[in-house]
Structure 1
Amino acid sequence: MKIDANKTIAVAVDYQERLMPVMEGKEELLEHSEILLKGLRTLEIPIILTQQYTRGLGMTVKEITDAAGTEDYQEKISYSAYEELSPLIEGKTYVVVCGIESHICVLQTVIDLKENGYIPVLVTDCISSRKHRDKEMALERARIEGAVLTTYEALLFELLGKAGTPKAKAIQRLIR
């Protein structure tokens, strides 16, 4: 099964000011996530940002809002973002998921997406937790639950489909 760009939407989960500084590998997480989100914008894939308890955890970091091309977000208090996402993702099949923390909000969102008939596409190099073991367990659980696991580079080229187009050139520039 190839992921169809026309049937895809993305959610960037909780890249917030008070969470980002304590994430394992935060510099790499941010770099990869920026490339992913810029690439998704190039491919005209809609992107939804979520924030968990904004008053306590702060706003989405500027690097992510810039890459996503929006400061708009869906506020949530549940760990899973599904309830807030459900009216926004109707008509889509694939939901690309990136963000933090892997073992809490990201994983619960993935599980709820799958349970509600969507195909969650978890971008493994664009998620993190405070502890490495929590991320490892989240990936194992996501796989068991039926999520499609991929990397930002593999996903962008799969959504792109073919070379030799202006979008392909833009994606190649981002990846380098």
Structure 2
Amino acid sequence: MPLIDPARSLLLIIDVQVRLMPVIADGAGILANTGRLAAAAHRLDVPILVTEQNAGGLGPTVPELAPEPGTAFPKMSFSATRTPGFLEGLPADRDLVVTGCEAHICVLQTVLGLLEAGRRACVVCDAVGSRRTESRAAALTRMAAHGAEIVTTEMVVFEWLGTARHPRFREIMTLIK
């Protein structure tokens, strides 16, 4: 598989919501890494799509990652791909860099749906979470078995940069350190 190219990437942040994050194992770490990816994506012109599962019950996206008002993709299906308009709204030329919660429910089902639709999905293992660590581990194993690429925050950021000569290298390195 090729490197993760920022010109062909879309950062998909799944259900990082205010009432869910307090119960996620290492929620602070998941949130920090998702924030790093979002900040790098903004600086490198990588589009970001945020989903919200049952926002009435789980609340909106956490303030640190809140999308522009009215731009979060609402869903009730655990898989975003089962929500009308989701797949059709994804640019066909983009690979999906996936973060979010819960790894074994909405992330897993969305990623399996993306793979079934023939899309490339790169799941950022240190930016996905579940309430239980064993659920997260099982989800990562299952996604990989079905063809998802399991990557880390730093792998994505450094592949998006491509070189230490990138004009935004020093600025983006402040996100990693």
Q: TM-score, normalised by structure 2?
A: 0.93
Question: Secondary structure of the equivalent of 1:169?
Answer: helix
Aligned counterparts of 1:92 and 1:104: Cα–Cα separation in 2: 26
1:122–1:149 Cα contact (<8 Å) kept: yes
RMSD: 1.3
Using the TM superposition, name which of 1-10 and 84-93 deviates more.
84-93
1:111, distance to aligned residue in structure 2 (A): 0.4
Partner of 1:74: 73
Q: How does 1:71-150 map to 2 (within 5 A)?
A: 71=69, 72-82=71-81, 83=83, 84-150=85-151
1:100–1:128 Cα contact (<8 Å) kept: yes
Unpaired runs of 5+ residues, structure 1, are none
Partner of 1:167: 168
Q: Does residue 45 in structure 1 map to residue 43 in structure 2?
A: no
1:4, distance to aligned residue in structure 2 (A): 1.9
* Structure 2 counterpart of 1:70, one-letter code: E
Could you list the runs of 4 or more consecutive aligned residues of structure 1 that deviate by over 6 angstroms after TM superposition? none
Partner of 1:23: 24
Partner of 2:156: 155
1:8, distance to aligned residue in structure 2 (A): 1.1
Q: TM-score, normalised by structure 1?
A: 0.93
Deviation readout 1:115-158 (Å, 9 max, x if unpaired) = 10110010000000000100000000010010011001111110
Aligned counterparts of 2:124 and 2:13: Cα–Cα separation in 1: 10
Using the TM superposition, name which of 96-105 and 28-37 deviates more.
28-37
Percent of aligned positions with the same letter in both sequences? 35
* Matched pairs, number: 173
